[in-house]
Amino acid sequence: MKITWFGHSAFGLESAGRKVLVDPFLSGNPVFEGEGKGTLSEKMAAALAGVTDVVITHGHMDHIGDTLAIAEKTGATVFCNWDLGQWLADKWEKHKTGKALNLELMNAGGRVEHNGVSIRLVRADHSSGVFENGVFQTLGSANGAIISIPGAPVIYHMGDTDIFADMGLIAELHQPDIVIAPIGDRFTMGAATAALAVRRFFPRAKGVIPCHFRTFGALTGTLEEFRRELGPMAANLLHLAPHETITFPIG
């Protein structure tokens, strides 16, 4: 599997002819826009090249990101919770693109497989919604996602969340090979708590990737603290620079 970090919680996962974008907050993401080689249009073209699927963990704009524009450009299938999907479908209809929006709607505990990509939404402790026209609208519950692509390691993207004891059940049920954990603090776990979650509930993970940090000044968690708090599991830390692609397993 090829894994690319686009800053914040946005990742590209590539294997077996599928390319899954998770939480594609690209436009307006200062890490995506301001780091890495090339112009913004070149970075966007590279991120979108070959995209087949999009997974959204929850209904905040720094996770919904460019989903509709990506779906229009690429025809990608979008996986998300039911409530968020209805909101996206309404936006799509009002835009009148003339194309169909390929949606796979689901909710926590459910699994959907489409063209070889398997997505299961799991619990996350967070909020989800948008503020529009002076009204706050909730968009279902926040989730994490278990992502399986043929021939690739199983990914657990935690989404935005605090630590919770049922992460132990997620580990038991899905046995993820790679865990992507938010470390920024304020809106999610900080680095120390995220490291505790990984150590306690996912000691068999072969790869650990931090996210949801560095993007804005309010996110104070650091890679250095996360590495330190992981203890011996720091040996499995996969730190990607923005726009960097690694192949896993490494070597």
pLDDT value, residue 178: 98
Sign of CA dihedral 26, 32, 34, 39: negative
Which residues pair with residue 132 across a beta bridge? 135
Residue numbers in the chain where pLDDT is lower than 70: 251
Rounded distance, CA 14 to CA 50, Å?
9
Per cent of the chain over pLDDT 70 is 100
Beta strands (DSSP E) in 125-197 are: 129-132, 135-138, 143-148, 155-157, 178-182
pLDDT value, residue 80: 98
Rounded distance, CA 39 to CA 31, Å?
13
User: Angle at CA 12, nearest 5°, toward 113 and 9?
Assistant: 100
User: How many C-beta atoms surround the C-beta of residue 155 within 10 A?
Assistant: 26
Rounded distance, CA 104 to CA 101, Å?
10
User: How many C-beta atoms surround the C-beta of residue 237 within 10 A?
Assistant: 16
Instruction: Output Rg (C-alpha) for the chain, integer angstroms.
Output: 17
Rounded distance, CA 124 to CA 145, Å?
9
Could you give the residue ranges of the DSSP H alpha helices within the chain? 30-34, 40-48, 61-64, 67-74, 82-95, 167-174, 191-201, 223-230
8 A C-beta contact, residue 58 and residue 141: yes
Sign of CA dihedral 32, 38, 39, 43: negative
Burial of 143 (0-12, 13-18, 19+ CB in 10 A): buried
pLDDT value, residue 31: 98
8 A C-beta contact, residue 112 and residue 121: no
In tens, the pLDDT along 214-230 reads 999 999 999 999 999 99
pLDDT value, residue 251: 58
Q: Using DSSP, how many helices (H) and how many strands (E) does the chain show?
A: 8, 15
